[in-house]
Homo-oligomer: A and B are copies of this chain.
Amino acid sequence: MTAVWTDKKKFETWLGVEYAVVKAMAERGLVPDNVPALLYEANGKMDPKRIAFFEEETKHDVIAFLRHLEELVGTEAMRYVHMGLTSSDVCDTAFAMQLRSANMIVHTSALQLDQVIHTQAIKYKDLRMIGRTHGMHAEPTTLGLVFASWLAELGRNIERLRIAADDLAFGKLSGAVGNYGNIDPEIERLALEMLDLNVEPCATQVVPRDRHAAYFNVLSLIASTIERMALQVRHWQRSEVDEVREPFSLGQKGSSAMPHKRNPILSENLCGLSRVMRGYASMAQEDIALWHERDISHSSVERIIAPDATILLDFMLSRALYLGKLDINEHKIDQNLKLSRTNTASSNIFLALMQKGHSREKAYEIAQEWRTVPEVVLQFLSDEEYNKCLDFERHLAHVDTIIDRV
């Protein structure tokens, strides 16, 4: 992923854009036939250091890039390069390409995680465990359903990512204020087609930044979904709960002072990084309202968050693959479930009492009392009815239905 965001890669992508434009122009006879080939050959020869050297003087990266390109292709050819373009035509179009490359990696990592969780959902679909709301024992569920819930959420996010990435696949080669002052829309169409990008229907000097803000929002949503999973693992691993643990490798140490410790550090790490991703997304939102046909305030933001947010999210997605290697403590899961067995029957008892004709209020009272004085309920329910209340099979009757839906 870091390779996407090197200076070298950036300049090569710029060159790719300039190449597509002269190629399109050559097809239309506006540029000598040999010019595209000259640019093509320059690829791989560019030296970021030379460009940095020229930028020192010009304080303008694209002009520095063009100067260096002149060194490679000659002055004569350069008369036809960047013709009718403004810097943002090159930068923004190339930025779309770099974001596409970054997104492909993110997307692939997301699909890998999806696969891992999918496998876990199937594998553990029938492993009963106590469900918890407010951190308190509620009613039984299965471990597979937890994974299934994550899977469904991740799936929605992957679809959001697809939409947001499609919305980013737009270039613009329409000049200084986006109205084709010195270039023909047809050249833009041809060149962007070569680059497999759509034409921005109404650019200013730049591609509008709502596209980018929407994309960074989705990256942050994915991070929050990872946080949701990681947070769950942290809860499961608590000493008292001890149902699921992070993998712990041979030789790994948990604490420099307490040799007994085995901490959910991967999960804690991911929870922290989700905060970082939220912050990155917030930065992108302020880039939408630029002045007139553009100001360049968004640029410094994007130089930071485009690499940082995509690299970080990809790291998070890759790290989250540990969810496929969790250490499942079935014994403790069962113990905790049993601990709660009578407790969590309260909703069943409540319903059974109402079905026998008690009012809602009365039934609720008995069920509350039953918690401390179990005998009380036997005044109202037969042994058979009572035992049926303690049977949790019904909580698991529809697991397959849910799993199939997901």
Contacts and interface: CB of A to CB of B under 8 A. Distances in A.
A258 interface: yes
Contact of A141 (B177, B289, B370): B177
How many A residues are at the interface, by size bracket? 35 or more
Given A256-B62, A367-B259, A238 B135 contact: yes
B228 A179 contact: no
Interface stretch (A2-10, A40-48, A105-113, A271-279): A271-279
Contacts of A394: 181-182
Interface stretch (A19-27, A94-102, A352-360): A352-360
B238 A176 contact: no
Interface in A259-304: 259-265, 268-276, 278-283, 285-301, 304
A290 B228 contact: yes
A178 interface: yes
Given A210-B225, A276-B305, A179 B134 contact: no
Contacts of A270: 300
A235 B57 contact: no
Interface string A163-194: 10001000000011111111001000000000
A120 to B, nearest CB: 14
A122 interface: no
10 contacts: A58-B251, A67-B361, A79-B354, A133-B176, A133-B295, A258-B350, A259-B347, A259-B368, A278-B283, A278-B286
Closest 8 CB pairs of A and B: A131-B177, A272-B300, A134-B263, A259-B367, A260-B346, A279-B279, A132-B292, A86-B257
